Amino acid sequence: MTTNARPLAIVTGASAGIGYELAKLCAENGYDLIIAADEPAINEAAQAFRGLGVEVEAVEADLATLEGNDKLYAAAKGRPVEALLANAGHGLGKGFLDQIFNDVRHVIDTNITGTIYLIQKIGRDMRARGQGRILITGSIAGFMPGTYQAVYNGTKAFIDSFSFAIRAELKDTGVTVTCLMPGATETDFFERADMLDTKVGQQKKDDPADVAKTGFDAMMRGDGDVVSGWQNKLQSAIALITPAGVLAEQHRKMAEPGSGEK
């Protein structure tokens, strides 16, 4: 990729859903892109974004691995990254004791290990330059124990917390950290997590383009966090004053296998 006047954004999980819409917004706002996902569909996304008049490089890598994140980092070839949108992540439904541990580990390694590894590498470069924007896709799931989605909600509690902490550490460095906390959003997420037989898997959900716009705008303003949608704002405010045991029972109703209509 040749250097030019346009700033560069890296967007992870950009082949689908919220990440696709985030990458599109970056391109529409004049960012060149390096986009990453695990499957070849990332190349089709890249082709679509090139149509918006920016340079786009697609990286196929499993971002649950450090090697995958090294491959993505190397793709920038030393060009400064103005914006990192660390969005790749996935869920895993069903009861914890019934899950396959390799699948459990992949959730943790994607949502936490790979995410913070990439943020550390790119964040160091941003701090050295005294500028940069980091947007991390957390979730309102981080506010509640995720009965039948226990590990996923735990990863998002980590990410929400981590985001606020490093934002405070980077205060006055010129690097901003913003946490986008969506509620249930209409993407491939629930199918991939094997949750289509659940109430939350079947209910009406937010539009990923709206969610991404909320997050992108918050990142550009340098806000600390943003919950997308007023219903999710209300839900997260109530969660903060509700006992964890009550929240866990409420989550059961949304995520228990078979809780959706047959």
Ligand X SMILES: NC(=O)c1ccc[n+]([C@@H]2O[C@H](COP(=O)([O-])OP(=O)(O)OC[C@H]3O[C@@H](n4cnc5c(N)ncnc54)[C@H](OP(=O)(O)O)[C@@H]3O)[C@@H](O)[C@H]2O)c1
Residue 232 interacts with ligand X (CB under 6 A): yes or no: no
Which residues are registered as beta bridge partners of 83? 9, 133
225 interacts with ligand X by CB under 6 A: no
Q: Which is nearer to ligand X, 64 or 157 (CB)?
A: 64
- The span of 84-92, 97-105, 165-173, 245-253 binding ligand X (CB under 6 A) equals 84-92
Is residue 87 close enough to count as binding ligand X by CB under 6 A? yes
Residue 64 in the binding site for ligand X (CB under 6 A): yes
Q: From CA 103, how far away is CA 259, in angstroms rounded?
A: 22
List residues bridging with 176 in a β-sheet.
133
C-alpha gyration radius of the chain? 18
Q: Which of 46, 88, 92, 118 binds ligand X (CB under 6 A)?
A: 88
User: Which H or E element spans position 74?
Assistant: helix 66-74
Q: How far apart are CA 64 and CA 183, in angstroms?
A: 23
The answer to whether 229 contacts ligand X (rule: CB under 6 A) is no
Residue choice 69, 110, 147, 214 for contact with ligand X (CB under 6 A):
110
Q: How far is the CB of 243 from ligand X (least distance, A)?
A: 23
Sign of the alpha-carbon torsion through 130, 136, 140, 145: negative
- Asked if 23 is part of the footprint of ligand X (rule: CB under 6 A), the reply reads no
Q: Does 192 bind ligand X (CB under 6 A)?
A: yes
What secondary structure letter does DSSP report for 185?
A: B
Q: CB within 8 A of 19, min separation 6: which ones?
A: 11, 12, 13, 35, 37, 85, 87, 88, 137, 212
Is residue 227 involved in binding ligand X (CB under 6 A)?
A: no
132 or 183, CB closer to ligand X? 183
Residue with smaller CB distance to ligand X, 19 or 260: 19
CB neighbours of residue 74 within 10 Å: 10
Positions in the binding site for ligand X (CB under 6 A): 13-19, 37-39, 62-64, 87-90, 110, 137, 139, 182, 184-185, 187-189, 192, 208
